[in-house]
Structure 1
Amino acid sequence: MNETEGTLTISAHPSPGGPVVLRLAGELDHHTGARLGHAVEDLLHRPGAGIVADLSGLYYCDSTGITTIITAHDRARATGSSFCVAAPSPAIVQLFRMTGLDQILTFHPSVEDAVDALSNR
């Protein structure tokens, strides 16, 4: 899967350890949030050990993007899967801390750390 629309690119990359790395690049906002939701839903219908959202390429996130990430996390938990965030930029980390998202999600400094954490669950 590799989709580009507007200013958000989403691509899925299975990792050898089990989780799928979902790479986001660009802007996650009211124009693009639904696409992330659909991508997560598609992955949750496949057997696997979870989803790592690689935010290293994400440079903007509005309230719709935050809601989409929370929904992805909740949907993963509801299906017995896991969802975590990896490699967010300092600006995205600050946004997530200001909104309390850091109290809900597990953040990892790198994709490798996130894959390792989900693989060892």
Structure 2
Amino acid sequence: MTDRVLTATSHPHPTGPNLITVAGELDYYTAAHLRKALEETTFTADGVIIDLTDLTYCDSTGITVLVTAYHRARASDTPLALAGLNPDLDRVFGIVGLHDVFASYPTVEEAVAAL
């Protein structure tokens, strides 16, 4: 049994893109919550922003879920951006080369402006 908690909620941002807000620990045990939110999110030309501001941990399973979202966005010609990477996650993204894959911004509002 695990006490890890992750919430992932999807809703439209007032300016158009769909926003998925993720909080908690994203790992093997909790990744299904983000997968479900991504499945329920419409990928459109307005874009999708994944807000990771309140994400405290992410393992390789979580990274796989994010990369899957990237592939879905590419297949549907949907702009995709990440927002709010904490310093630890930003470092991991740098090490594994994900800064070359994802557009990421310090805040949701900066991601919205970039889309």
- TM-score, L = length of structure 1: 0.85
Question: May I ask how many residue pairs the two structures share in their alignment?
Answer: 113
Query: What residue ranges of structure 1 are gaps of 5+ in the alignment?
Result: none
Instruction: Report the Cα offset of residue 28 of structure 1.
Output: 0.7
Letter in 2 for 1:64: T
Instruction: Report the Cα distance in structure 2 between the residues aligned to 1:38 and 1:83, rounded to whole angstroms.
Output: 17
Instruction: Report the Cα distance in structure 1 between the residues aligned to 2:13 and 2:30, rounded to whole angstroms.
Output: 25
Question: Runs in 1 of length 4+ with deviation above 3 angstroms?
Answer: none
Residue among 13, 19, 24 paired with 1:15: 13
Q: Does 1:114 align with 2:101?
A: no
Instruction: Report the Cα distance in structure 2 between the residues aligned to 1:48 and 1:34, rounded to whole angstroms.
Output: 25
Matches within 5 A, 1:92-111: 92-111=89-108
Residue among 61, 70, 74 paired with 2:71: 74
In 2, are the aligned partners of 1:17 and 1:116 still within 8 Å (CA)? no
The alignment yields a C-alpha RMSD, in angstroms, of 1.7
CA deviation map 1:25-60 (0-9, x unaligned): 001111121221221121136x56121110000010
Query: What residue ranges of structure 2 are gaps of 5+ in the alignment?
Result: none
In 1, are the aligned partners of 2:18 and 2:42 still within 8 Å (CA)? no
